[in-house]
Amino acid sequence: MIRVDDVTKDYGAFRAVDGISLEIRKGEILGLLGPNGAGKTTTLKMLTGYFPPTSGEIYYNDAPVSHQPLEIKKRIGYLPESAPLYPNMLVYDFLCYTADVRGIPKAKRLARIKEMSALCSLTEIMDKPIGELSKGLKQRVGLAYAMISDPEILVLDEPTSGLDPNQIVEIRKIIRDIGETRTIIFSTHILSEAEATCDRIAIVHKGKIVADGTTDEIRAGGNGSGPCLKMDVKGASAAEAKNLFQGIGSVARVEASQSKENRCELSVTFKKGQDGREAVYNAVKETDWVLMNFAMEANTLETIFRTLTKEN
């Protein structure tokens, strides 16, 4: 339904999005997961037609967005990270105003507002000024604002940011309810958020997609990562150990941290389909280091996320 084809976005000399390609299927809930500054908001803004890519193209049902941005914008509901709400307006008045701006005919407005009120549980707060609402309630009003024109696609930027755990659960439920019949793309930097709500996750780092799949596929190393060996090594600095293991052919990545003087903890990730334990063990045998721990660990999403989005 949506195809992002080798899209880049430059802000002056800085490349914020660097050759992203993605396919988003109809009815899917896709989470763009990445650390701060990864390029999530920039990607969402291009998806909504807010600004065009510097290069590449985005297609909706095979139609390039650049050819008819206004048509496509009408089919997308967008809730930015700071929802554009008017604090002095009552919730009801704000939704009437939004319906008017979006061109919903007068005769259909009340019915649509009622539907939004039911979908986002707003009945009790319809006559309250928006400025007096908690952050969670404001976010529900924001979802109603984004959904009022009945868009096919809903794009949400960090929809649960700054909410308390109860509010997060409520917003997640509304997103999943909407996701029953719509395509949803949302960004988050919280792994558990993506895991709880999405059918599929694309991990973004420094403007690139570094993993894309269901949580099970990403966990199984469908994106080039194999199993991970945890080690505690006595007699070596983190830099020495990292240097040694990085030279082994079956090793994809090494994370090392100094735990004490001359002792370090390591996570050695092997290439997909490879088990380099013997090679690592033989390398240690050539040194005078002592292995205090040497254990293979199943990849957790958290380790994969941390490894894929490490600074260097």
Ligand X SMILES: Nc1ncnc2c1ncn2[C@@H]1O[C@H](COP(=O)(O)OP(=O)(O)OP(=O)(O)O)[C@@H](O)[C@H]1O
Binding of ligand X by 311 (CB under 6 A): no
User: Min. distance of Cβ 197 from ligand X in angstroms?
Assistant: 17
Using the rule CB under 6 A, which residue among 2, 7, 16, 308 binds ligand X? Answer: 16
> 211: helix, coil or strand?
strand
Name, in order, each residue with C-beta under 8 angstroms of 37's C-beta and a sequence gap of 6 or more.
none
C-beta of 45: minimal distance to ligand X in Å? 8
- Nearer residue to ligand X within complex by CB, 157 or 170: 157
Which token pair is 125?
A: 């707060």
End-to-end CA distance of the chain: 34
Confirm if 54 and 131 have CB atoms less than 8 A apart: no
Q: What minimum distance in Å lies between the beta carbon of 17 and ligand X?
A: 7
Burial of 46 (0-12, 13-18, 19+ CB in 10 A): buried
Instruction: Provide the b/e sequence for 205-229 (b: ≥16 CB within 10 Å).
Output: bbbbbbbbbebeebbebebebbbbb
Q: Which is nearer to ligand X, 46 or 99 (CB)?
A: 46
Rank residues 12 and 165 by Cβ distance to ligand X and give the closer one.
12
Distance (Å, rounded) from C-alpha 252 to C-alpha 245? Answer: 10
* Footprint of ligand X on 177-216 (CB under 6 A): 189
Give the whole-angstrom CA distance, residue 17 versus residue 23. Answer: 16
Least distance to ligand X from the beta carbon of 198, Å?
A: 16
Residue 257 vs residues 241, 254, 267, 269: alpha-carbon distances, Å: 10, 10, 9, 15
For ligand X, the closer of residues 155 and 251 by Cβ is 155
Which span sits near ligand X by CB under 6 A: 11-19, 142-150, 240-248, 286-294?
11-19
By CB under 6 A, the count of residues binding ligand X is 12
Enumerate residues 25-54 that contact ligand X by CB under 6 A.
34, 36-42
Stretch that binds ligand X, among 9-17, 105-113, 243-251, 293-301 (CB under 6 A): 9-17
Task: Identify the H or E element spanning 186.
Answer: strand 183-188
* Cβ-based nearer residue to ligand X, 154 or 268: 154
Give the nearest distance from C-beta 159 to ligand X in angstroms: 12
Between 11 and 281, whose beta carbon lies closer to ligand X?
Answer: 11
What are the residues binding ligand X (CB under 6 A)?
11, 14, 16, 34, 36-42, 189
